[in-house]
Amino acid sequence: MLLFGKYLDKRLELRARVFNLLGMVGMAIGLLVGFASAIIGTGMINIALNFASSLFAAVMLYYANRSGRFHTCYLITIIAVFMIAFPVMFFASGGYHSGMPSFFVFAVVFTAFMLEGAKSFAIVAFEILLYACICLFAYFHPESVSFFESELAVATDTIIGFFVTSLAIVLTVTLVFQMYGEQQRILSEKNAALEQIDRLKTEFLGNVAHELKTPLAVMMGIAQNARQQMRESEASEKLAPEMKAIVSEAGRMALLVEQILDATRIDEGRFSFDIKESSVEEIIQTTINSYYPMLKRNDNHLIMSLSDDIPHVLADPHRISQVLVNLLQNAIRHTKRGTITISAAPAEDFVKMDVSDTGCGIAADRIPVIFERFKSHDSGNTGASRGSGTGLGLYICKHIIEAHGGEISLHSAQGRGTVVSFTIPVCP
């Protein structure tokens, strides 16, 4: 029993456990059929081959578990037993008027279990062809077969072959399903643990972001107030750049916090929308008016290119403005003394909007993952200034546009700028 448990240890891979099981079954089969062959009188050659196969199974079982070279033992077993010993036993023990065809089925099933990929298909196909040819050869050359002397011997050998191969296949399939159930249980436990970790991470990010919002608002208020007061003091020229930097960095941190909060809302299904009939021109104009100081950074020139016949869209104006702000911030960070263009035009049942720049562009290997979570940060923009740092901006933009029923895409080349395009459905 201890030996049985060792060879079927759950720490072994599935094929190794199946091999060990079939090896032990093979030992028992060889002995059983050998004694049965001696009783029913199938000839010394057949008796010797059965006992030899039992010994061979024991040697392969020991060697495989001692050396760990299971795959080599699979191949040796297939070649030595299934392709050499079985054909010899077929002709020595009644041909297809015996239990050997059942062992041929066992050989094919064993090979399919033990090998994988193209090798498995090739060897299984060869075995099937080999056994078919053997049967045809025995049909056309019956003199090559040593037949049993009585119908009782034929029936006995057939029953033994059927019983043994059925038992081996049932045990193998049972072990495979048992192993599959264990793996499914382990995967379920791991998935539950990962989901719990993901929930804890989301809660942590949300809590941290909420905790940061208040001190950031206080910092920005104090800095802006101090900046206003300095305009009337003698130290204004000296301290103004520092206060401007404080306001800028506090604003950047506020953006990071808001992006983290948006990402946690998306994860928790709380990212809300107020979709209604909206004017594209008003959304763009409101966004530019609210963030005009941001647009003047890096000495860039802003161009608006709006078609005259833009229909109204079904959209949440605040969320579409959020997308535009994010895309404009990206364009401004990576463009110096260049041109940033916002354009909009009808496109069948949608309005297509583009935000393009003449900046440093994005490396080609980063574009396929640019909209994935945490992938857009440090996206290969040469010469780019420090970004938002979360890698969430474009991920959030993609979620917003797809929630509206539109699509978003990006085209870029290093040194040639970037174009981000998205669509919003028009009102019916």
pLDDT tens for 87-136 read 988 898 888 988 889 889 988 988 887 788 888 899 999 999 999 999 99
Query: Are the beta carbons of 206 and 264 closer than 8 angstroms?
Result: yes
pTM value surpassing 0.85: no
pLDDT tens-place string over residues 129-186: 999 999 999 999 999 998 877 888 788 878 878 887 888 788 778 877 877 787 788 8
Task: Find how far residue 77's CA is from the centre of its chain.
Answer: 35
pLDDT tens-place string over residues 8-56: 666 677 777 777 777 777 777 777 767 766 776 656 766 777 787 778 8
The secondary structure of 139-196 as a DSSP string is HH-GGGS---SSHHHHHHHHHHHHHHHHHHHHHHHHHHHHHHHHHHHHHHHHHHHHHH
Task: Find how far residue 405's CA is from the centre of its chain.
Answer: 26
The secondary structure of 105-129 as a DSSP string is HHHHHHHHHH--HHHHHHHHHHHHH
